[in-house]
Each structure stands twice: as structure tokens, then as C-alpha cells.
Structure 1
Amino acid sequence: MRERSRARLTARQDDVIALSHSLHAEPELAYEETRSAAKIADLMEGSGFAVARGVCDLPTAFTATAGSGDLVIGICAEFDALPGIGHACGHNVNGAAAVAAALSLAEIADEIGVTVKLLGTPAEEYGGGKVDMIHGGAFDGVAAAMMLHAGPEDCAGACTLAISSWQVSYTGTPAHAAVMPHRGVNAADAMTLAQVAIGLQRQQMIPGGIVHGFVASAGEAPNVIPARADASYDCRAETLEDLRELQRAIRACFAAGALATGADLEIRSVGNDYVDLHQDTPMASLYADAASRLGRTVMPSEQGMRGASTDMGNVSHLVPSIHPFIGYNTNNATAHHPEFTRYGASDGADRAVLDGGLAMAWTAPALATDASHHTSLLGRLAGRQTGTTVN
């Protein structure tokens, strides 16, 4: 079965690599990935998959299925980019590797009793398309989910953080800064006081908590008391419970700026909250074994990246999941750096697409044919559907 799935991918590798390069050359932002989603959906439809576009009321979300087995394996394809720096997180590699996995696994799906479900998941960088798709029912019936992520090293998994994003605004009162400053309410001062409070709060911050953001605007002229200040801020923590505690403390810091200056405060949530990632240990081990068969050296999950966040975390709390990293040379550049983008269509990245896709495809047969894995996954799925806990 490994060789048959490898042969299928070998026959389609030019198409898969061309897809990766095309996604890389035309980066699109969250929820606007019209061309990117169409490229993947068209390729899957042309490969015999049943494709549904615009699922879950998301124009750039889709599903593509093949096979008819009782064990539904979900493979998540990401394809959104970052503002100004394109695919600096390697989502062209992520998406193309998911396609490689789906094509390879479809070759043996009916033989091993699997249905392959490729999920086109938009807006990972901003918004959380997978969360939208969970709410829309796209993961209903999925017994196991997987994806991989581009990076400088191979790793069986990662420890990611829960995250919540805010848009913070203060509204004050404008006034002449020299003639009548006492008539003004300074929104920029409110933002400054909040930032100082956040800085002081770090000493008492919950362990593992991270706060970061930037001020987008705070006035228009030096001789006018700023009547508006806007900022974007993220809070991260190791669990959703810790995140809520951190949010309470940081919200109080922003409230302090309003209290001290008299400005009005508005805090708006942006997108979906992401929760921490739960790697399924048996699945991660199967993936690591498959990748090692392809000559790759895979670090264990506990040595993986920490501090980042992903909406795959939300999937992992619902469905047994893995989120390994596939590495290639980036000249020491890390994700979300413009230099990282340069290597997304390199020979190493192309190899990562094929190896990563095949390793995911080789993970599935063990899940389907080993009685303990198969029974466990279907039992947990039944528990989700009935609202009971099944080990």
C-alpha cells in the first residue's frame, strides 16, 4: 500500500509542485483567498474527488472527498498568506502537502476502509477559518484530522498557545493643544497609560502568558489633542482557562487608561479565539515513523516550537489530531519573517511538500487497519456524536 500510494503521488508530483509554486506566487489574505481556494478545488475535482465549494457560508472554504470507508480522515489544507510578506509562514507548502496526502491516500482508501476528506481551511493567520468550519459542521463525522506545517526543522508536533485578538479604541475630545488643552480628553494619553500598566502587569502575569500589540493611530496633528487612538493587541496563554484570566488582567489595564483620562474605551474581539493544540500521541508516533521511512529525521513533539498559535488547536479539542512540522533550508530565517518567504518555492520546500504529504498518507493505513486504533477513533467519534466520553 505504501508503494502504491507513493506511485500515485509520483505520477502527480508535477501538478502538486506546480500548485505550491502558484500559491506562493499569488499570495492572498484571510477570507480573500479566492484564487488559491479555486486552484486547489479545481485540482481535486479534476482528480476524481467530490468537491463542495463555499461550505460553512465561507466563500473560500471547501471540502473534497474520495472513498467510502467508515473511518473518515480529515486533512486540512491551509493557503492564506500574511500582509506585505506573502507566504512567510509557508502555507503554500502546507496546502500543497495536504493535497499530496489526499491524492496518495485516495489510491488505497477503499481497500483500507477510509474516506479521505480534504478540508480547504481559509484564514488561519487571521480570523480562524477552521473554527468557522467547526461551527458549520465540516468536521462532523471526521474521526481523525491531520495537517503539517512548513518550518526550518522536522518535528512530530508542537506546543501552541491559546490566543485572543482585540481591537482597542479610545475616544476623547479634541482641543487646541496650546490654547485650550484643558478642554480636551487625550485618547493618546489613555493608550500610553494602558501600555505602561500592561508593562507593569508583566511581573504578575500568569506563567506562560504573552501580550503583544501595536498602536495603529493616536492623533493627526501635534497641535490638536488626540481625540482617537486605536491599537491591535493579542493575548496568549497555555490554556483557554489561563487565557481568560490573562484577559481579565489586561482588560483592567485598558480600563485604567480610560479612568485616568476620561476617554471612552471600546474593546472588540477580532476573529475567533484559538485554543491550545492537543497532539494525538499515537498518531504523532505513526507520522514520525512514516517520515523516518522517507529518510527524514524527526524531532519529538516536546522539542517542537512553542509560543505560536493555530486554529488547528480548536480542531484538536474536537477530533484526534496531529500538526507536525516539515523542514527545509531557510538560511536560518524563521516563520513570519520576509526572508522565510524566499524559500517557499525552493527545491527543499518542494521535497517537503512531497515527503510531508506521503508521510501523512502513510499514517492513515495504520489508523484504519490496526484494530486498537480503528476502534478507539470510531469510539471517540461516537462519543462526540452522543455527547458522552469514550476512551
Structure 2
Amino acid sequence: MTDSSVATPAVRNELKEVALSAAAAARDEVVGLSHDMHAHPEVAFEEHRTADAITAVLSRHGFSIERGVADLPTAFVATAGSGDLTIGICAELDALPGVGHACGHNVIAGAAATAGIALAHVADAAGVTVKVFGTPAEEFGGGKIFMLNAGVFDGVHAAMMVHPGTSEYADHYTRAVVDLDVTYTGKAAHSAAAPNEGINAGDAATVAQVAIGLLRQHLNPGDLVHGIITKGGEAPNVVPSETNLLYDARANTIAELDGVKKRLRACFEAGATATGCSVDIADEWPAFSEFRNDDPMVDFYRANAEALGRTFTRTPMQQRLAEAGSTDMGNVSLAMPAIHPTIKVDAHGASNHQPEFARWCAEPDADQALYDGGVSMAWTAIDLATDDGQRARLLAGRDA
């Protein structure tokens, strides 16, 4: 888009109407995609059916598809348009083990497909290239980080996604997080006949968890540690020779995360010291960063969502920060302008990561959220493309 006359309100509104019509025409197809994902949840890095289903829909709407990007079999990039301004839309693929789409990634993917299809119909007129990124393993693994590091997001000027929740926010706040995989190795022995010959890896885990419990009182505001024991031993009459724990350390920023991680590691090392076990502590996945909102994109999204009848939640910032989770979309937001709005789904008192929440992510209210979120993102991309100042800012790069 080089003609400044394209950036008139009348032309902008015309582009939005075309995008809206395209989204409306594809609505049943995309809702069907969301429901299919919901009925067939797949966990991190195993989202093969999910990736097939999303790319099939996008391919039918004229997108070219690149599969297996960043050496991740389920990751993909779907591309339409040829403009010099590249807008990325992220579709998360994975479900939670045991509880399915209790974080509503089927809604996220459906909204991304809606936005992509809507933008594809106006991409050349708006001077935009739209890329829909299929990003695996947000819950466990950090697929977006692997994709960033492999250069898959190179050349993208702005990125966005929407996430279902129990409140509606145009901006988003998260904590940085790192996962630690901890294994204690001791020595097995008969628990009754010769316990003195054993080195108890279960005791090492207990000492560590007691130390973690005592540590919590002295963590900085915003810091959190939490986790589970995934292996506690083999039998009650055998001194455990191996135990395994998975723990998260969280902090308000990735810069602060190292301090929490260091203190958490010391607790695990204390378990080994106290019992004589050896300990292996490994970062399970790359660290997720905090989220950096791009304010102009936030403002455009809010106005567009309100135009569709969405109502945003008013919550004190202190409470929002206290309730902040984590996402690998945060790492994307540090690399380029990005937004991650939360869109409300009526879950009848349930909240994210509860099995009851999963139930409501394939009901009419979630379907409406999917549609509204997708259209709002498409309209936001059109605003960015047709606002001379914002277009120039994004083309120049955040740090220009």
C-alpha cells in the first residue's frame, strides 16, 4: 500500500466490511474446526490431527502452507497476501493432559483462523502479508520460543492472538517462568530388613519440599514456586532409589527469574546434601518471559472489540498482576510489537485449567468469543495497515 489515499476512513471501513463478510462466510467452518479440536485434544508436540485440521481449513481459503517449521513436526506457517507489512496471528494447538482444552486453545486456534481468513480477503488491498502460525506446546514446552530461535518469526512486524478466560482485557500481563526437572538418585534397600543400607531418594524430595515451603515466606512479591512429584518410589517396602520432581519458578520479569531459580535450586541441592543422594537439575524447557503490550495495538483492538459489542472487565491492576500466569507469547512480545487480549467465555464459575472450563469452550458463548476475537484481530491489523503513522512505525521496527 503506497497510495496515502488508501488510508482514508472510508477505505478503512470498506476493508473492514469485506473482512467481516469473509469471517461471517467462514464462521460455521471455523466453529466446526474448534469443536473438532475440542473433541480430539492433543498434548504438547503431539498435535498432529490438530495441525492437519487447521491447515486444511486455511489451505481451502488460499493460504500456502509450510509444515514442520523449526524442526517441530506440528508447527506450521500459513501465508496469504504479498504486502510489505507482515502481520502474524498465533494459533495455539495443544491441550492439557487429563483435562483437554481447559485453557481453550481450540478457541484460540479458531479465532486465529477467523482473523487469517478475514485478512486474506483484503491483504493485497491493505498492503499486508498475513501469516498464521501454528504454535505447539504452549502449556508444556514453549513452541513459540523454538520457532523464534529458528527464525520462523523473522520479518514479522507485529503479532497477535486472543485467549479465552473468565474476564475480558485488551492488554495482558504475565509472569516469567522456567520449569525445573529434578531427579534424585539414591540406593535401594529393604525398608524393614536393611534400611541402613539404603540411600533414600524419597527423603531427599521431602527435604527439598520442606525447604521450598519455608522459602515461600521470603520470596519477593510476584515470585512463585510450585510443582509436583512425578515419581516417588517403587514400593513401600523398598527404600526409594530414584525420585523425580517437576517445579516451576516464576517472577515478574525474566530478568528477575534467575534469582528465584537460584533459590529454588538451592532447596533441591539441600535435599541431596541432607540424604547423600546425587541430584540432577535440568531446565525442562526454555524460560517464558513477561509480556510487553504494544499500546497502539491494544487501543485499536479494544475499540474494534467494543464495536462488536464486547465489554471489557475493570479489575484493579494490583489484582491482575497477582493473578498473572505465563505464556511463551511473552517471548514473542519482547521480539516484536504484540498483543494477547483475553476474551471472556461464560464458564459458569469455572476457570482456566479446570475440567469444567473445558466443557464450556465448545458452547455457543465460546463460539461467539472465537468469532468476535478473530474479527477484532483482523480489524486491528487493518487499522495498523491503514494508519500512516502506525504502518511506518511497524515497518521501521520497534527500536527504530
Q: Which bin holds the TM-score, normalised by the shorter protein?
A: over 0.9
- Whole-Å Cα distance in 1 between the matches of residues 333 and 300 of structure 2? 17
The answer to whether the Cα contact below 8 Å between 1:157 and 1:304 also exists between their aligned partners in 2 is no
Q: Give the stretch that moved more between structures: 333-342 or 268-277.
A: 268-277
> Partner amino acid for 2:224?
I
Instruction: Determine which of 190, 211, 230 is the counterpart of 1:176.
Output: 190
Q: CA deviation at 1:372?
A: 1.4
The answer to whether the Cα contact below 8 Å between 1:206 and 1:242 also exists between their aligned partners in 2 is no
CA 1:72–1:300: 2 relative to 1, 3 Å: farther
What is the match of residue 23 of structure 1? Answer: 37
- Whole-Å Cα distance in 2 between the matches of residues 367 and 298 of structure 1? 21
Q: CA deviation at 1:153?
A: 2.2
> Partner amino acid for 1:318?
A
- Spell out, residue by residue over 1:164-209, the C-alpha distance to the aligned partner (whole angstroms, 9 max, x if none): 1111111111122233222211111111111111111112212211
> Partner amino acid for 1:203?
Q
1:156 aligns with 2:173: no
What is the match of residue 344 of structure 1? Answer: 361
Instruction: Determine which of 208, 221, 228 is the counterpart of 1:207.
Output: 221
1:317 aligns with 2:334: yes
Instruction: Determine which of 112, 122, 128 is the counterpart of 2:142.
Output: 128
What is the match of residue 264 of structure 1? Answer: 278
1:139 aligns with 2:153: yes
The answer to whether the Cα contact below 8 Å between 2:172 and 2:339 also exists between their aligned partners in 1 is no
Q: CA deviation at 1:226?
A: 1.4
> Partner amino acid for 1:88?
A
1:291 aligns with 2:305: yes
Instruction: Determine which of 31, 35, 49 is the counterpart of 2:49.
Output: 35
Q: Give the stretch that moved more between structures: 139-148 or 223-232.
A: 223-232
Q: CA deviation at 1:219?
A: 2.0
1:221 aligns with 2:235: yes
Q: CA deviation at 1:66?
A: 0.9
The answer to whether the Cα contact below 8 Å between 1:20 and 1:345 also exists between their aligned partners in 2 is yes
TM alignment of 1:1-391, pairs within 5 A: 1-299=15-313, 302=317, 304=320, 306-380=323-397, 389-390=399-400
DSSP 3-state at the match of 1:63: strand
Q: CA deviation at 1:338?
A: 0.3
Q: Give the stretch that moved more between structures: 71-80 or 201-210.
A: 201-210
The answer to whether the Cα contact below 8 Å between 1:156 and 1:299 also exists between their aligned partners in 2 is no
DSSP 3-state at the match of 2:279: strand
- Whole-Å Cα distance in 2 between the matches of residues 62 and 218 of structure 1? 38
What is the match of residue 384 of structure 1? Answer: none
Percent of residue pairs identical: 50
Q: CA deviation at 1:299?
A: 3.3
The answer to whether the Cα contact below 8 Å between 2:344 and 2:369 also exists between their aligned partners in 1 is yes
- Spell out, residue by residue over 1:218-255, the C-alpha distance to the aligned partner (whole angstroms, 9 max, x if none): 22222222111111111111111211000101101111
- Whole-Å Cα distance in 2 between the matches of residues 204 and 328 of structure 1? 36
- Whole-Å Cα distance in 2 between the matches of residues 270 and 304 of structure 1? 27
> Partner amino acid for 2:36?
S
- Whole-Å Cα distance in 2 between the matches of residues 191 and 135 of structure 1? 34
The answer to whether the Cα contact below 8 Å between 1:173 and 1:186 also exists between their aligned partners in 2 is yes
- Whole-Å Cα distance in 1 between the matches of residues 311 and 320 of structure 2? 13
Gaps of 5+ in 1: 382-388
The answer to whether the Cα contact below 8 Å between 2:345 and 2:361 also exists between their aligned partners in 1 is no
Q: CA deviation at 1:304?
A: 4.8
The answer to whether the Cα contact below 8 Å between 2:91 and 2:108 also exists between their aligned partners in 1 is yes
The answer to whether the Cα contact below 8 Å between 1:170 and 1:228 also exists between their aligned partners in 2 is yes
> Partner amino acid for 2:298?
A
What is the match of residue 12 of structure 2? Answer: none
The answer to whether the Cα contact below 8 Å between 1:156 and 1:300 also exists between their aligned partners in 2 is no
Aligned residues: 383
- Whole-Å Cα distance in 2 between the matches of residues 47 and 153 of structure 1? 32
CA 1:304–1:205: 2 relative to 1, 3 Å: closer
> Partner amino acid for 1:355?
D
What is the match of residue 386 of structure 1? Answer: none
- Whole-Å Cα distance in 1 between the matches of residues 191 and 62 of structure 2? 68
DSSP 3-state at the match of 1:279: coil
> Partner amino acid for 1:87?
H
Q: Give the stretch that moved more between structures: 118-127 or 213-222.
A: 213-222
> Partner amino acid for 2:338?
S
- Whole-Å Cα distance in 2 between the matches of residues 300 and 280 of structure 1? 19
Gaps of 5+ in 2: 1-14
DSSP 3-state at the match of 1:273: coil
TM-score by length of 1: 0.95
- Whole-Å Cα distance in 2 between the matches of residues 199 and 49 of structure 1? 51
TM-score by length of 2: 0.93
DSSP 3-state at the match of 1:178: coil
DSSP 3-state at the match of 1:351: helix
DSSP 3-state at the match of 2:54: helix
- Whole-Å Cα distance in 1 between the matches of residues 153 and 330 of structure 2? 13
